[in-house]
Chain A
């Protein structure tokens, strides 16, 4: 009985803590553009828009257990959709968003089909091929895409009534898009659909026996993931006002994947941390070493993965786990009355893999037989 009341208590406390954290985060997010210099506001804007792409990638890689080295190409597709619409048809910024989203969704649906047959490295290779072949294609389609020179289009302009500077207005628009996108991703992943994805990742055949239609969920995971990347790319065009094939080389795809892994797979706020890493660490690396920023960047990735193998999002849980195991080691009898709730694994994220030890569940325990 006491455990039940304790569980209820921690549940309420957890909800309260979550609400306070959300309010605090919202306050910081809304106040930031008034505090920082324009360039820093621009950097924050970029973090937000990368977070959308990473949230999409998270859906596919973190939750779906598939891999894509081609998300830079979906990002580019979204960016070019916006740029071409603004350049040729002068549609206005907002109209480009749904077109980029739907277009990339369909593109992703197309790529979801090979994902049904291929897995692991083979799928990685196919998606990488897409990322490698898109920039040259964009260069060839010069009449539409502007070739290697790219396209220069209008950035977002702050309307006069807002009284905001351009960077601040852009920041708020991107913040709104990101907030909605992250909310949609969160809803999706905390539903029956998200559970089906996780179930497929953990044990495909068991998921199918439980009624999960593998082909449907795999292709749609790809499509939704591409949709988020496309939205992110579309917003990129709004912010930068310029697209060229060289902005979207396959390195972008790999950077996105690295950012996601560093931020934390299958975590709901890992994409934000990963986006910050992708945005800030290269410039920090530049500060540390002018000669070889790439080396410093690489070393920092290695360092993060060494300290936090489950990503930055899992770091807090890991630290708590280490602290807990230290405590139980010093006081062995206390180990028995630890309720599951007191363990770090009881994080509110639906499937934070952080504290889960890589222990095969199917392994037979050593018990006496018959």
Chain B
């Protein structure tokens, strides 16, 4: 479904990614792990066209993803969440989710200004779909609340709801349980598992919480200093000496 091949990104003298390659099969969940600064988020940014690699290719369902303008990525069925939340703080929770459906809307400026019937119909549909998603994720009570000022755990779910509103086939989660408490991590893991099944999603997850990654993913890719140092099933990765070295260091 997704094939990343040999991508390299350099910021000035620093090489953030160095020839990273891996594939994601449809319906699987792939975990991306690695110490801080290993290039995980940069890789995500390449997948959503927020950053253009200096070399390499990214193909999504046989289409060259790097040839697309950034705003077209959502329309192809790719959604993401952000490491430190990328919500719209002054919009209500429902509006946040409705922005997620932007790429599926067709309303143009003039038609919107005139309030044409098809515009209102579309607006009603998007609103109903957003409300369905909010109910599904247990957010119906906060639908009219501005996104700022809600608890962090709730906001993580709002961001997930917004990403689902894109109707993605590939969902990229950037540190989804970072900053959540123990109990919340388990809840969120259950939630991700159930929406993955329900919406038939393919997942790529960046996360430091090993319990979360190993419990969710079919395959794990480990990066260190911009290079792929290991790839395999969670069991293999946990035993891999290179991974252990990168995370824990070697005894002197």
Binding site for B on A (CB under 8 A): 3-4, 7, 183-185, 187-188, 191-196, 198-199, 201-203, 205-214, 220, 224, 266, 339-341, 343, 345-346, 350-351, 353, 355-357, 359-362, 364-365, 367-370
Q: A191-B123, A195-B102, A198-B91 are in contact. Are A339 and B141 (CB under 8 A)?
A: yes
Q: What residue in chain A is nearest B210 (Cβ atoms)?
A: A370
CA distance A364 to B91 in the complex (A): 20
Question: Is B75's CB within 8 Å of the partner chain A?
Answer: yes
A192 contacts B126, CB within 8 Å? Answer: yes
Taking A3-B141, A192-B98 as known contacts, 18 extra A-B pairs with beta carbons closer than 8 A to each other, sorted by chain A number, are A191-B123, A194-B112, A202-B88, A206-B86, A206-B88, A207-B88, A213-B69, A339-B141, A340-B142, A340-B143, A341-B144, A356-B90, A356-B146, A356-B148, A359-B89, A359-B149, A362-B84, A370-B182
With A188-B109, A211-B103, A370-B209 in contact, is A362–B90 under 8 Å at CB?
no
Give the distance in Å from the alpha carbon of A213 to the alpha carbon of B108 in the complex.
12
Among the listed stretches B114-122, B193-201, B220-228, B236-244, which one makes contact with chain A, having 4 or more residues with CB under 8 Å of it? B114-122
User: Is B192 at the interface (CB under 8 A from chain A)?
Assistant: no
| A3 closest partner in B (C-beta) | B141
> Would B95 and A361 count as touching, CB distance under 8 A?
no
Quick one: which of A185, A208, A343, A368 contacts B145, CB cutoff 8 A?
Answer: A343
CB-defined contacts of B115 to chain A, threshold 8 Å: 183, 187
The answer on a CB contact under 8 Å between B95 and A195 is yes
Chain A residues contacting B50 (CB-CB under 8 Å) are 205, 208-209
Judging by beta carbons under 8 Å apart, are B112 and A192 in contact? yes
Nearest Cβ on chain B to A134's Cβ, whole angstroms: 26
**Count of A-B residue pairs with CB < 8 Å:** 160
Kindly name the residue among B113, B140, B145 whose own CB sees the greatest number of chain A CB atoms within 10 A. Answer: B113
A218 nearest CB across to chain B (Å): 12
Contacts of A341 in B (CB 8 A): 144
The distance in angstroms between the C-alpha atoms of A345 and B90, with both chains bound, is 10
CB-based nearest A residue for B71: A213
Which residues of chain B come closer than 8 Å to A187, judged between CB atoms?
112-115, 119
The residues of B that contact A351 with a CB separation of less than 8 Å are 90-92, 95
How far does the Cβ of A185 sit from chain B's closest Cβ, in whole Å? 8
Given A191-B107, A340-B144, verify A356-B114 contact (CB < 8 Å): no
CB within 8 Å of A: which of B130-175? 140-149, 151-152, 155, 162, 166
Q: A residues within 8 A CB of B162?
A: 210
Shortest C-beta distance, A9 to chain B (Å), equals 14
Quick one: which of B100, B112, B151 has the most chain A CB within 10 A? Answer: B112
Inter-chain CA distance A207–B89, complex, in Å, is: 12
Residues of the B chain whose Cβ atoms lie less than 8 Å from the Cβ of A3: 141
In the complex, residue of chain A having the shortest beta-carbon distance to the beta carbon of B93: A340
Nearest residue, chain B, Cβ from A189: B112
Residue of B nearest to A10 (CB): B144
Bound-complex Cα distance A171 to B243 (A) = 77
Which B residue sits closest to A368, measured CB to CB? B181
Question: Once the chains are docked, how many angstroms separate the CA of A197 from the CA of B182?
Answer: 37
Known: A192-B107, A195-B102, A211-B72. A203 touches B166 (CB 8 A): no
- Inter-chain CA distance A145–B148, complex, in Å, is 51
Cβ A365 vs Cβ B113 within 8 A:
no
A191, A212, A351 — most chain B CB neighbours (10 Å): A191
Q: Is B188 an interface residue (CB 8 A)?
A: no
B180 interface hit (Cβ, 8 Å): yes
User: Is there a chain A Cβ closer than 8 Å to B179's Cβ?
Assistant: yes
- For the complex of A and B, list the 8 residue pairs with the smallest distance between their C-beta atoms, beginning with the closest: A211-B103, A211-B74, A206-B86, A191-B112, A202-B88, A187-B115, A340-B145, A213-B71
Contact indicator B149/A357 (Cβ below 8 Å):
yes
CB-defined contacts of A188 to chain B, threshold 8 Å: 109, 112-113
Contact flag A345-B146 (CB < 8 Å), given A191-B107, A192-B105, A208-B71: yes
Q: List 27 A-B contacts (CB under 8 A).
A: A3-B141, A184-B114, A192-B107, A192-B112, A193-B107, A198-B91, A199-B91, A202-B89, A203-B88, A205-B86, A207-B102, A208-B70, A210-B100, A210-B102, A211-B71, A211-B102, A211-B103, A212-B99, A340-B144, A350-B91, A351-B91, A355-B146, A356-B89, A361-B147, A364-B179, A365-B151, A365-B179
Among B144, B147, B162, the one with the most A-chain Cβ atoms within 10 Å of its Cβ is: B144
Closest A residue to B116 by CB, please name it: A187
Complex CA distance for A357 and B90, rounded to whole angstroms: 9
A168, chain B: closest CB distance, angstroms = 29
Nearest Cβ on chain B to A115's Cβ, whole angstroms: 16
- Which B residue's beta carbon lies closest to that of A184? B113
Q: Are A192 and B123 in contact (CB under 8 A)?
A: yes
A346 to B144, CA, bound (A): 6
A209 touches B70 (CB 8 A): yes
- What is the CA–CA distance of A20 and B180 in the complex, to the nearest angstrom? 46
Note all chain B residues with C-beta closer than 8 A to A4.
140
Q: Beyond A351-B91, A356-B146, A361-B147, is A210–B99 a contact (Cβ under 8 Å)? A: yes
Q: Which residues of the partner chain B approach A211 to less than 8 Å between Cβ atoms?
A: 71-75, 102-103, 166
B167 to chain A, nearest CB (A): 11
In the assembled complex, B48 has its CB within 8 A of some CB on chain A: yes
Contacts of B246 on A, CB cut-off 8 Å?
A: none
Residue on B with the closest CB to A193? B112
CB distance B179 to A367 under 8 Å?
Answer: yes
B40 within 8 A of A: no
Closest Cβ of chain A to B170, distance in Å, is 13
- Does B90 lie within 8 Å of A202, measured CB to CB? yes
List B1-52 residues whose CB lies under 8 Å from chain A: 48, 50
Q: Is the CB of A192 within 8 A of B122?
A: yes
